[in-house]
Chains A and B, each alone.
Chain A
């Protein structure tokens, strides 16, 4: 499959289905694994790197880890293709910016992605729409078991799965739940959530993970510790926290509707109007507009847009996606024009 075939659809995790999908965009789990008998990547030479890549690629493809697996060799991919894969959450920024033999395998639905030679030899990722940690874990656990039968992972009974960075050692697991929290953001209550979450050893990050800023009121809650607790325990901590945050967000939305209905509605309708009529929209502005309109749909103010369409627009209007869609490189002004026209088309605008 060619990367361009992907550019006008999105992964299943953006469908807007699953539990609490009005607030929980996605549930994601990743496992870090390394092959025993090889150094970690910072110390691997060219030959070892190639051997690791080839061993993992062949095992993944032979074991049919996901349906219709595609493999992209990132060492040969163009800058736009790499950015495109980052925007779809199929690879990380670090993986895109890395060097040497490396690649990514992903299934047709884009639920499963396996990054080879990222920070660790292998990063397995499963991402689903809505608050669906249980089924996400079941899928990734099975993949890990299948691969673990055919590959020998670096492991010690004291420290668990051994990883290049000691922050991931143990389970090698990071669970991230992506939340849309516009009302908590607007009322500044989000700070309280950060504090409470921090006390449980969890962290809040922006849309694209570590070190990225929060935009479009999208937040990722994830675990910081990976050792000393089993996978199930880590999952249950996050599983118990998320419903509290979502009900807090719902309360904040209700309060906004009660206390400042006119301002809120004005803000949402203006955003909708902009999306339908603007001729140029920057990548930052669109996140804000989509966030407002998404809340408008959730509180029942707007009823003529599908949640899936809105979720998808968060990704489809990103720079690399617009360039893929257009089939050529675009500067930022051109992108702003194309972005606005694409959104107008999708929303039957003016």
Chain B
């Protein structure tokens, strides 16, 4: 069936109009349908769809898409498509994009476990402090105030020796 407006292209849009109880069938090609009615916005191009999808699903990708690690040369998009980082520095360079991902994977983004055997005393203390603060929160939640007081004292004691902060 040909389009009733231009009479050239194939009619792919079929409208049913009801005006004062009178039903009327109309057949247009996609281009003419745009002119006849504003109900049919022009189909977006695949790249438009992709961009809007990315924006919806991961605003972080749009923001980070231009970031590239100066050390190993990997771009944020390459990381997202391969799932593997290029070097330890990427954790800093892509921090903004990585944080929500890491939160989702682990339910946290702060390490509280072991530190390397040869790490400086400062790192060791810093991580001990983080662990103690976590335990303190848990103790307060459980209303174990005796334990909480004990932990608080330990934290005071340690934080006197270490420059705190991220």
Contact = CB atoms under 8 A, between A and B. Distances in A.
B88 A154 contact: yes
A166 B103 CA distance: 10
A155 B166 contact: no
Interface in A158-180: 158-162, 164-167, 169-171, 173
B73 A170 contact: no
B129 to A, nearest CB: 10
A231 interface: yes
A40 B86 contact: yes
Contact of B114 (A38, A165, A225, A231): A231
A159 B88 CA distance: 10
A165 B83 contact: yes
Contact of A43 (B74, B119, B131, B166): B74
A39 B110 contact: no
B77 interface: no
A160 B111 contact: yes
A36 interface: yes
A160 B113 contact: yes
A229 interface: yes
Interface stretch (A145-153, A190-198, A294-302): A145-153
Main secondary structure of the interface of B (DSSP, over half): loop
A39 B72 contact: yes
Nearest to A38: B87
A228 B99 CA distance: 13
Contacts of A147: 117
A273 interface: no
Interface string B70-99: 011110000000111111100110000010
Interface residues on A, range: 35 or more
Interface in A33-61: 34, 36, 38-40, 42-43
A226 interface: yes
A115 interface: no
B105 A225 contact: yes
B60 to A, nearest CB: 13
A225 B73 contact: no
A337 to B, nearest CB: 42
**B98, B112, B114, B127: most-surrounded residue (chain A CB, <10 A):** B114
Interface string A208-225: 000000000000000011
A147 B116 CA distance: 9
A45 to B, nearest CB: 11
A155 B119 contact: yes
A225 B106 contact: yes
A159 B111 contact: yes
A162 B118 CA distance: 16
**B102, B111, B118, B127: most-surrounded residue (chain A CB, <10 A):** B111
B91 A162 contact: yes
Given A39-B72, A227-B111, A170 B86 contact: no
Contacts of A157: 111, 115, 123, 126-127, 130
B72 A159 contact: no
A78 interface: no
B107 interface: yes
Contacts of B112: 228-230, 233
Contacts of B105: 166-167, 224-225, 227
A151 to B, nearest CB: 8
Nearest to B125: A157
Contacts of A224: 105
Contact of B106 (A34, A38, A228, A231): A228
Contacts of B85: 40, 164-166
**A36, A147, A167, A170: most-surrounded residue (chain B CB, <10 A):** A170
B107 to A, nearest CB: 6
Contact of B131 (A34, A150, A230): A230
Given A162-B88, A162-B91, A166-B101, A155 B106 contact: no
Given A144-B117, A158-B166, A171-B113, A34 B88 contact: yes
Given A158-B166, A169-B111, 16 more contacts: A38-B87, A39-B87, A40-B86, A147-B117, A152-B116, A155-B115, A155-B123, A159-B91, A160-B111, A166-B85, A170-B106, A201-B107, A227-B105, A228-B108, A228-B111, A230-B112
